[in-house]
Amino acid sequence: MSLNPFLIVAIDGGAASGKSSTARALAERFHFLHADTGSYYRALTAELLHRGVAATDPAAVRAELAELHFGTEVFLSSARLKIHGDKISNADIRSAAVNAAVSHFAALPEVRVTLLAYQRGLADVARKHDFRGLVMEGRDIGSVIFPHADCRFFLHADPVERVRRRAREGQADAVAERDRLDSSRENAPLTCPVGAVAIDSTHLSLPEVVEKLARQIFARLLKA
Ligand code: CDP
């Protein structure tokens, strides 16, 4: 076993499938940096909407993206996207307007290319901050961003249960509609990558899901 293995863990799954809570818990347990890439797509969407750009106008999106400067704030164990040095507030990235628009912006190749390099670069950010790994969650992490990640997981859950989870968080979110858009797009669609471990969390509690993933990460650490 190597003394200082640095692990990359990819967690993908549909809307409200439990990725964020699971990834956050794993980050704390293993001292990994946590990257919630959905929040990056949401922040970018909020910024583009604020600049009056629509997803139906890719040329305007391209022009605005060329103007933007990205940075990262590491706060506790999470990596937050900064645009022009500012964080976009949680309320802004979870607004109804962003919920409705994010999958349309996320389907644009120019948006995905912009975030691809940024997301890959977070492995270096994690190393620089002395984390022992990176746990990144999203839709295309195990398929496109880190196809050779040390551990790749795919979380899914019954859609009715997922809508219930969002409602418990006080949010009305078109979970099924976002999944439909995310799964049917041409670029980096939401899919369970070949070789990823699929976990159905419909009847599992959060600690039970975390335990399942943690066991596999431990096994991988022992092999490193
Ligand atoms: O939290 P929730 O599961 O509702 O969604 P999210 O992870 O915040 O992601 C919001 C949206 O960003 C998704 O519906 C996708 O359209 C997009 N996304 C993506 O395309 N690729 C990723 N790696 C992460 C998010």
Domains of the chain: 7-223 (3.40.50.300)
Question: In this structure, what DSSP letter does residue 16 have?
Answer: T
pLDDT tens digits for 146-189?
999 999 999 999 988 888 888 888 777 788 888 999 999 999 99
Q: Is the pLDDT of residue 1 over 60?
A: no
Distance in Å, CA 36 to ligand 1 centroid: 9
pLDDT tens digits for 140-149?
999 999 999 9
Q: What are phi and psi of 30, to 5 degrees?
A: -105, 5
Amino acid at 61: V
Q: What is the mean predicted confidence (pLDDT) over 217-224?
A: 92
Q: Is the pLDDT of residue 83 over 70?
A: yes
Q: How confident is the model at residue 39 (pLDDT cuts 50, 70, 90)?
A: very high
Q: Atom 3, ligand 1: which residue's CA is nearest?
A: 15
Q: Is the pLDDT of residue 14 over 80?
A: yes
Mean pLDDT of the chain: 94
pTM over 0.85? The answer is yes
At a CB cut-off of 8 Å and minimum separation 6, what does 136 contact? 8, 9, 10, 11, 23, 34, 35, 37, 119, 122, 145, 146
**Is 38 touching ligand 1 by the criterion CB < 6 Å?**
yes
**Is 140 touching ligand 1 by the criterion CB < 6 Å?**
yes
- CA gap 35, 123 in Å, rounded: 10
Distance in Å, CA 182 to ligand 1 centroid: 8
**Is 22 touching ligand 1 by the criterion CB < 6 Å?**
no
- pLDDT at residue 185 in the model: 94
- pLDDT at residue 190 in the model: 93
| Inter-residue contact 111 to 105 (CB < 8 Å) | yes
Q: Atom 23, ligand 1: which residue's CA is nearest?
A: 138
Distance in Å, CA 41 to ligand 1 centroid: 7
- CA gap 120, 124 in Å, rounded: 8
**Is 41 touching ligand 1 by the criterion CB < 6 Å?**
yes
pLDDT tens digits for 91-133?
899 999 999 999 999 999 999 999 999 999 999 999 999 999 9
- CA gap 53, 66 in Å, rounded: 13
Which residue, among 36, 33, 30, 40, has the nearest Cα to 13 in the 3D structure? 36
Distance in Å, CA 178 to ligand 1 centroid: 8
- CA gap 132, 151 in Å, rounded: 14
Dihedral angle sign, alpha carbons of residues 202, 208, 214, 218: negative
Q: Is the pLDDT of residue 3 over 70?
A: no
